[in-house]
A and B are shown apart, each in its own frame.
Chain A
Amino acid sequence: MMQLDTLFEQVESIVEKYGRERSNLLAILSEAQDLVAHNYIPEEMAEFIACGMCIPTSQVYEVITFYGLLSEVPRGRHIVQICDSTVCRLNKNTSLGEVLERQLGIKIGTTSDDGEVTLEYTPCFGACDISPAIRVDKKVYGNLTEEKLRRVINQTVGGRKA
């Protein structure tokens, strides 16, 4: 993680940009999380935001733990999400999962030991017309075949040894 001082300065400017009203909490947390390489909100950051918005830290945690986008624990630098919706299930997403597990060398639902990549299932993100689909670092890739999937991973996460 970068120096805490610098991080706090950046978070402070995000809080100022949105304003200290409670209604901005979700937007502030989402943007603050993007500052952290491992896609999570460290405790110090949650406390800092709570303090800046004059709300209890427990309430900030209630929000962080409720939403799928936010995390209170470190995740991979890259996040690979396989859509586990009904539509992708019909379009045989399970075989995509196997390919990804082999290519990334990790099981679904885990993060690699070096903290580079998290592989997980995610609920439907509305790309059913290009199913089966995955989302890598918030970007959607669809109509996946095994070959296309390998290409997408090479371009986003990079080549990895299984």
Chain B
Amino acid sequence: MKRTANLISGQLKKYDPLQLSSYEALDGFAALKKAFELGSDGIIEEVDASGLMGRGGAAYPTGKKLRQSADVPGEIKYLICNADEGEPATFKDRHLLEFDPYSIIEGMVISAYAAGATHGFIYIREEYLYLHDMLRQVLALLREGGYLGTNILGKGFDFDIELFSGAGAYICGEGSSLIESMEGKSGRPRIKPPYTKVSGLNKKPTLVQNVETLTTIKSVLYHGSDVFLKYGTEKSHGTKLISLCGNVNNPGVYEVPFGITLREIIYDIGGGIKSGEDVKFLQLGGASGAIMPKSLIDIPYSYESLKEHGLEIGSGAVLVADNTNRIIDFLDSVQTFFLHESCGKCTPCREGNRQLSNIIGRMKDGVATNQDAASVERISNIMKYASFCGLGKTAPTAVLTAIRYFSDELFSKGDVYERV
């Protein structure tokens, strides 16, 4: 049975990005034409009806976000496509940028029209350098073709897009840090409110949307929200791109309907475990996501079912680890990452990560105690509630869930961890 879908990825790899006509031949820009007919309200209603939630990781309802942006008045309004995909184990945006850039941009023009944005940017991470030139050429082709620039498709709508490259900073995936970075500063998050949709780039209203979200907006307009609603579960509508990786036979980007089980993802789509060993644990949503044991792999992949177990979809990363891995080595890798990427602006994240690193160091040396377990909980709580942005709030997720499910591997013998 075919487990994958192609609502979002229908055009993926089907055309040559340097030939605009090859995209047009695939019914390209049909969604944009439909959007122009629907008008701003019509687009937002359609997106709202689809139940689409932000695909960067925070899962904010997209229709609501578009509506809020549309309601902000302003002569100049920005739309930024967030292609600073820095979450470890996540590469679905890269896949879209490389193999279906036109659908992203079509989604951008539709969103800009709905929200009344006048200028657009694609903020792409420096690590995707090999895509930069191709994307600049794509933007030039679209300008020539009348899909960007002034009076798009003769509808009197003006909107153009520039490419902006990051310079290697995970934190810049956070909307306000991304904007600081675009203003030529170090990428540290801003205090909210004001939200970026009210006061963002150059203090102008700025709508920041993830690559996959924009592509999905195009897909919702193209197929209609009713088709979208045929896929998924009661509360998680449609399909999602997952970045399947780790110890599986077929790592890659796949589009799956919500509600598929993780077992089906690992074995039917991923082709099972490469070493032939058993699954030990998964990490969903990237380094900032929870670690879950094998015993949970029969739960459906949907916002609501995962939430029951304290898990999240996040960016859509599905990282699979087999029995040959030690949980402590994995935690060490996660923590090294957050210690390196914490921007240092707020104390809970900067110092919290330092303390977590020390404790994980003790776990590695086999001398971590009950006391350390209690410290992890205390420090993590402070980080979750008092950090400035999502980085600090989610950094302790992996270690907390690892303690929940694998405490016997992390603490020295004879000192059994009891939940405090």
Residue-wise, chain B 238-252 has the 8 Å CB interface mask toward A (1 for contact) of: 000001011100011
**Which listed segment binds B: A3-11, A99-107, A126-134, A150-158?**
A126-134
Q: Check A87 against B245 for contact (C-beta < 8 Å).
A: yes
Count how many chain B residues have C-beta atoms less than 8 Å from C-beta atoms of the other chain.
51
Q: Check B167 against A26 for contact (C-beta < 8 Å).
A: yes
Contact size range, A:
35 or more
Q: Check A86 against B167 for contact (C-beta < 8 Å).
A: no
What is the count of residue pairs linking A and B with beta-carbon distances less than 8 angstroms?
124
Q: Check B247 against A91 for contact (C-beta < 8 Å).
A: yes
Identify which of A129, A138, A140 contacts B251 (C-beta below 8 A).
Answer: A129
**Which listed segment binds A: B61-69, B178-186, B228-236, B356-364?**
B178-186
A126 contact set on B, CB distance < 8 A: 85-86, 90-91, 94, 125, 127-128
Q: Which of B268-294 contact A (CB under 8 A)?
A: 283, 287
Known interface pairs A26-B165, A123-B170; A87-B185 also in contact (CB < 8 Å): no
Q: Check B88 against A123 for contact (C-beta < 8 Å).
A: yes
Does A124 count as interface, using CB distance less than 8 angstroms? yes
Q: Which of B306-325 contact A (CB under 8 A)?
A: 317, 319, 321-322, 325
Cα distance, A59 to B129, chains bound together (Å): 26
Cα distance, A27 to B91, chains bound together (Å): 24
Identify which of B89, B127, B184 contacts A86 (C-beta below 8 A).
Answer: B89
Q: Check B169 against A67 for contact (C-beta < 8 Å).
A: yes
A130 contact set on B, CB distance < 8 A: 251
A30 contact set on B, CB distance < 8 A: 126, 165, 167
Q: Which residues of B contact A (CB under 8 A)?
A: 85-91, 94, 125-130, 164-170, 181-187, 243, 245-247, 251-253, 283, 287, 317, 319, 321-322, 325, 329-330, 333-334, 336-337, 340-341, 343
* Further pairs besides A26-B167, A124-B287: 5, Cβ < 8 Å: A23-B184, A59-B185, A85-B287, A85-B337, A86-B330
